[in-house]
Structure 1
Amino acid sequence: MSNITKAQEAVLPICVVGAGPAGLAMARALKAAGLDFEVFEKNPGVGGIWDADFPGSPMYDSAHFISSRDAPMSSFRGHPFPRTAAVYPSRRDVLAYLQEFAEAEDLSPQIRLSTAVERARPGDGFWEVTAGGTPRRYSALICASGTLWDPVVPELAGAEQFAGRVRHSVTYRAAEELRGKRVLIVGAGNSAVDIACDAARTAKSVSLSMRRGYWFVPKFVAGEPFDLFIRRPDALPQWASPPDAAALLRLLVGPPEAYGLPTPDHAPFASHPIMNSEVLHHIGHGRITPRGEVARLEADGVVYADGTAEPVDEIILATGYRAETPYLPEGLFDYGAGLRPRLWMRLFHPSRRDVYGLGFLETNSSVFRLVDLGAELIASHIQAGRAGAPARLALDGLAEAGSGPDLSAGAKRLETARHVDYVDSRAYAQALEGMLETHFPDGLTGG
């Protein structure tokens, strides 16, 4: 347990690591609470991964939000996307939105750009954080350093003899890189299918390797974004409402197996939805060939698990990311079998009261609204602790016990590292809103 005294808390500021979406939401909440804080950002601007010019960003030219501009989870409270943004905002739209949010909330004075946090260690009642080579002391540490900076690169049997190129999708930027090549994309997330669709326009051939079947969700239904259409009470006939989402998707796009894709082994939205209206079109026109799992590489190509062999020039591994926090002491965050820290309500350390995580989420929508609510809960928790409010003790008891609401909406998730602690966006938002209303009904009152 942390032994920070109230006197020290009143003097020492709070440290926030990262000025991406989560860090900016956290900065606004701390400012509204009247708490002293500093944000450290390793890059020369705000926006995190959404600035493709930042080293290590996974953004590519064709990247867009998978949730629509006006969906509830797509924006911060009080800051809707401008109508000039695309219905599914491009990466440039999102970056501009984040920059404008930081400016509108006047967050720049508290953000130290081009200043990486190299080391953070707990002391006797404080955190010593070394950023830009300079150590400083803080009363609390909030890790908002992002989840898409550290690629997961699987070992492929026979890779040492493969004459072509193997790289992770974090290095991919534009379709022109693949012109005239025989390309294999490994993975079935939204980035994988986006890159496959890019390659379909320029590459000599494109294959998409998937270990299991997934549900494909159209971006528009009857001219309306799917995530808004599905929420309309009058949009769906009774037979197509949950739990019959599978029937709806089979009606709208057809069964995946009709396109040569494997049959999903899970219910719709029990995993990340593949929001892409192009990939099935390209598969149907022979521009993308569905493949199974890779068994091994050979000198000139790939052999799949079903024995099929194929010549390949380049392999792009769209195999995900692990949310590393290398500035923390080893073992401070428990990852279990997953790719993100295991935190109570995805925010609170199970035993320490002076370190938090924000944005370490895997969910089925955008996270902007979710990190906004999480930031308010963290700021309220810190504020209540300094005031000695009983709400703080109540929340601490829940965190230590590990008890809380069901964040899965009752769905059985896939047993993969990516889906450990997966949350349903609506269930998670409702849980956060409920905690704020129950424990901190007056909101943030320091601003």
Structure 2
Amino acid sequence: MTPTARVVVIGGGQAGLAAGYHLRRLGIEFVILDARSTPGGAWQRTWESLHLFSPAAHSSLPGRFMPPQPGQVHPDARHVVEYLTDYEKRYELPVERPVRVIGVHRDGLFLRVETDSGTWQARAVISATGTWWRPFLPTVPGRTAFEGRRMHTVEYSSPDDLRGRKIVVVGGGNSGAQIAADLAYDTQLTWVTRRPPRFLADDIDGRALFDAATARRRALDSGLSDTGGVASLGDIVAVPPVREARDRGLLKASPMFSRLIPGGVEWADGTRAEADTIIWCTGFRPALSHLAPLRLRGRRGRIAVHGTRAEGEPRLHLLGYGDWTGPASATLIGVGRPARDAVQDIGALLAAVSP
């Protein structure tokens, strides 16, 4: 017998839990299908030194403040996993794991959700799979010529097994700066960025970034001029480890190289840097392969949305993939509002189709 839920939430990370909170509040029957075997979403897979940009009180999901971490102003990833685990239990969210969703299909009045452990039928689906599981690697001349170790952000854990090595870190965003700062002391580091690094003012944290993203979305929705959002402030939050490495002169970025060579990288003028490891901090793409049967993806691999609702399938909402699915919706503090809006929209949809 095919199980049925009024709403199926795909993904049990922060976005899926925020959706679950609001579904519970409205009394809508739902299930959360999570591919991971334990709670915590992508926070289980981050590098060891990663800390939040904001204090705990400004890094919370709806309904429950994140408690402070003893001895830390900015909580680490382990604390976030503990918080998400507690959040899931506190609100008795119905999470089934590990369940990997293979595809979502139209099936008359329902959306059919096929998984590796069976098929679900749903009146509505919230996709909250995030981006961490789909790392992006740019095409670079000579990529196959390089003879050293190649890693992406998702594979980096700590400097422990890289001490004394010749490392090239590629990427001028937060992950590139934080990993470069992590490696600046015990490796021969070359940090490479496509443009000169833009550090945000030292007093700016995640709450200010959320406010900037929200102001931009409100301006665009009102037909006003683009405020620039977070990008107008800079690219890199100066969290304490980044600030310390920067102030000690250890974070000096080189422009992007032209190609890879067997023993490292080379610039257009013939300058070379030796490397036995390259870490690509080059971002992610939305993990949306499970939605391919709906044939909704357009330019740049995105699905056109109105708010969080897919324009080509009103029974589908996308949550937590970045600003295009809600201001700062890929952050703990930012996902609550678009989650609420998505659930309210689904509530109205269900009321309209109920007998």
Cα deviation, residue 271, structure 1? 6.6
TM-score (norm 2): 0.84
Aligned to 2:95: 111
How far apart, CA to CA, are the structure 2 residues paired with 1:370 and 1:166? Answer: 33
Aligned-pair identity in percent equals: 27
CA-to-aligned-CA distance 1:25-79 (integer Å, 9 cap, x gap) = 1111111111111110011122210113xxxxxx0101111233233xx212331
Q: Within the alignment, does 1:148 sit opposite 2:132 as a pair? A: yes
CA-to-aligned-CA distance 1:361-415 (integer Å, 9 cap, x gap) = 14669722332111211221122223339xxxxxxxxxxxxxxxxxxxxxxxxxx
Choose 1 or 2 for highest CA Rg: 1
SS at structure 2 position matched to 1:146: coil
Aligned to 2:189: 206
Tell me the number of residue pairs that the alignment of Structure 1 and Structure 2 aligns.
330
Q: Which of 173, 177, 195 is the equivalent residue of 1:193?
A: 177
Aligned to 2:51: 64
The answer for unaligned runs of 5 or more in structure 1 is: 1-10, 53-58, 232-265, 390-447
Cα deviation, residue 315, structure 1? 0.6
Aligned to 1:393: none
Change (3 A) 1:335 1:174: farther
Q: Within the alignment, does 1:343 sit opposite 2:330 as a pair? A: no
Cα deviation, residue 286, structure 1? 5.0
Q: Within the alignment, does 1:378 sit opposite 2:339 as a pair? A: no
Q: Is the 8 A contact 2:329 2:335 kept in 1?
A: no
The 5-angstrom pairing of residues 29-108 of structure 1 reads 29-52=22-45, 59-71=46-58, 74-84=59-69, 86-107=72-93
Aligned to 1:293: 256
Q: Is the 8 A contact 2:18 2:62 kept in 1?
A: no
The answer for unaligned runs of 5 or more in structure 2 is: 211-227
Between Structure 1 and Structure 2, the one with more strand by share is: 2
Q: Which of 253, 265, 283 is the equivalent residue of 1:302?
A: 265
Cα deviation, residue 267, structure 1? 9.0
Q: Is the 8 A contact 1:157 1:297 kept in 2?
A: yes
Q: Which of 265, 268, 281 is the equivalent residue of 1:318?
A: 281
Q: What is the CA RMSD across the aligned residues, in angstroms?
A: 2.8
How far apart, CA to CA, are the structure 2 residues paired with 1:292 and 1:279? Answer: 19
Change (3 A) 1:60 1:343: same
Give the letter for the 2:284 counterpart.
Y
SS at structure 2 position matched to 1:194: helix
Give the letter for the 1:121 counterpart.
H
How far apart, CA to CA, are the structure 2 residues paired with 1:373 and 1:148? Answer: 21
Change (3 A) 1:272 1:142: farther
How far apart, CA to CA, are the structure 1 residues paired with 2:328 and 2:271? Answer: 33
How far apart, CA to CA, are the structure 2 residues paired with 1:383 and 1:282? Answer: 49
CA-to-aligned-CA distance 1:6-28 (integer Å, 9 cap, x gap) = xxxxx852111011000001111
Give the letter for the 1:332 counterpart.
R
How far apart, CA to CA, are the structure 2 residues paired with 1:314 and 1:350? Answer: 43
How far apart, CA to CA, are the structure 2 residues paired with 1:333 and 1:360? Answer: 16
Q: Is the 8 A contact 1:358 1:375 kept in 2?
A: yes
The 5-angstrom pairing of residues 122-133 of structure 1 reads 122-133=106-117
Aligned to 1:180: 164
Aligned to 2:223: none
How far apart, CA to CA, are the structure 2 residues paired with 1:364 and 1:371? Answer: 7
Q: Which moved more, 1:356-365 or 1:146-155?
A: 356-365
Aligned to 1:334: 297
Give the letter for the 1:67 counterpart.
S
Cα deviation, residue 284, structure 1? 5.4
How far apart, CA to CA, are the structure 2 residues paired with 1:293 and 1:384? Answer: 50
